[in-house]
Amino acid sequence: MIASIAIVAGLLYLLVGTPRALDPAQRRAPDTLADAVGQLEAELRRNPNQPEGWRLLARSQAAQGRVVEARDAYARAVQLAPEEPDLLAEAAEARALASPDRRFDDEAVALLRRALAKQPMHQRARWFLGIAQRQAQQPAEAAKTWEPLLGLVDAATADSLRAQINAARAEAGLTALPVPATAKPLLRVTVDLAPEMQARLGANDTLFVIARQPNGPPMPVAVKRVAATGFPITVELGDGDSPMPTMKLSQLAAVEILARVSRQGVANRAAGDLESAPLPAQPKAGAAYTLSIDRIAE
C-alpha cells in the first residue's frame, strides 16, 4: 500500500508539473492511497486533458475496488489517446471487470480490435479478444485468435495456452493442435550487438529473432524469443517456431530474417527498439547467417 501511495503521489507531481504546485506550502504529500487518489482527481478536474492522468486514476481506482469508476476513467483516457494499444487493452479489461458477469461487451471488443489493428501481435489484446469470443460462443474464432501467440511466449506458457486453444477447438468440433514435433533447424542465426549499441541495452530487454515472408504480411513465419544478454547470441529457427500452424518455415524457399531488441518484450517494432537490417535467407538444414544490431528504430 505504501508503494502504491508513493507511485500515485510521484506521478501526480509529474502531471501537475508547475513550481507552485510543487511548493510544499501549496501541496502536501498524501498519507493514504485514498488521499493520493483524491489529489489526482482534483488535478484532473483542474486540467482534464491528461491521458496519463486518467490512466493513473483508473489504475488507482481499480486498486481500491472502484471498478465502475475505473472503467469510466479509462474511457476518458482513450478519448485523449485513442491509438495507444496498451491503453486500449487496459480499457477493454476494465469494462469487463466492471460488468456484473465479467463479460467483454461490444465496446470492449471494439477497443481490442482497434488495439490489434495498431499492433497485431499485442499479447494482452489477443488474449482478451479470445476470451470475448469464447464468451460469445465463438470457440473457433477464439482458437484462431490465440494460435499466433504460441510462438511468442515461453514454453510453460505455451503449454497452458495450447490447452486453452484445444479446449476452444473441441467446443467448435475441431481437432486438437498437433503436439509440436522436434523439428530440425532450418536457419542458424548468430546475432551480435554493435559496440555503439551496448550502452543502450537494458537489463530486462528481450531479443526477438524473426523470419518473415519478403514483401509479405508482418506476421512472422518463425520467431525466437530470448533474453538480450551475452552477445553474440545464436538461435535456431525451424517449423516448431512458427506462430501460425498453417504457415511453416519449411514451406518457403526464401525469407527475410532480422533481429530486434525490445524494451517492452513484444515482437512488434516500436520506436527506441534496437534492430538489425533485414537479411535475405534460404531456409534449409545447415543454413547459417549473421545479423548485427546496429540501429535504433524510429
Query: Rounded mean pLDDT of 51-77?
Result: 93
Looking at residue 264, its pLDDT comes to: 82
- Indicate if the pLDDT at residue 128 is higher than 90: yes
Q: How far apart are CA 257 and CA 238, in angstroms?
A: 13
Q: What is the mean pLDDT of the chain?
A: 86
Per-residue confidence (pLDDT) for residue 180, from 0 to 100: 67
Q: What is the pLDDT of residue 13?
A: 43
Least confident of 30-44, 56-70, 124-138: 30-44
* Least confident residue range of 30-44, 134-148, 152-166: 30-44
What is the predicted pLDDT for the residue at 1? Answer: 43
Q: Which residues pair with 191 in a beta bridge?
A: 233, 291
Residue 35 has a pLDDT of 79
pLDDT for 181 beyond 70: no
- Please give the pLDDT value at position 15: 45
Q: What percent of the chain has pLDDT over 90?
A: 59
- 112: CB partners within 8 A, 6+ apart: 88, 89, 92, 104, 125, 128, 129, 132
pLDDT classification of 218: cutoffs 50, 70, 90? confident
pLDDT score of 175 more than 70:
yes
* 215 pLDDT above the threshold of 50: yes
219-258 per-position pLDDT tens digit? 889 999 999 999 999 999 988 888 776 678 888 999 999 9
> Are 142 and 238 spatial neighbours (Cβ–Cβ below 8 Å)?
no
- How much is the pTM? 0.61
256 phi, psi to nearest 5 deg: -120, 125
pLDDT of 31:
59
CA atoms within 13 A on the CB side of 131: 18
pLDDT reported for residue 25 = 40
pLDDT band for position 275 (50/70/90)?
A: very high
Inter-CA distances, 222 with 87, 114, 122, 146, 190, Å = 28, 25, 17, 16, 15
Q: Are 169 and 163 in contact (CB under 8 A)?
A: no
Higher pLDDT, 220 or 7: 220
Residue spans of the domains in the chain: they are 2-171, 187-296
Q: Which three cell numbers stand for residue 70?
A: 475505473
Note the pLDDT of residue 39. Answer: 84
Position 146, amino acid: W
62-76, 182-196, 238-252: range with lowest mean pLDDT: 238-252
3-state percent breakdown (helix, strand, coil) of the chain, nearest 5: 50, 15, 35
Instruction: Report how many helices (DSSP H) and strands (DSSP E) the chain contains, helices first.
Output: 10, 8
Q: What is the DSSP letter of 65?
A: T
Answer yes or no: is pLDDT of 271 > 80. Answer: yes
- Of residues 240 and 27, which shows the higher confidence score? 240
Distance between CA atoms of residues 102 and 91, nearest Å: 14
Does residue 82 surpass a pLDDT of 60? yes
Cα(17)–Cα(10) distance, rounded to whole angstroms?
Answer: 11
* Residue 239 grid cell: 517449423
Is residue 204 scored above 50 in pLDDT?
Answer: yes
Percent of the chain having pLDDT more than 70?
87
CATH class, 2-171 region? mainly alpha
| Three cell numbers written together for 272 | 527506441
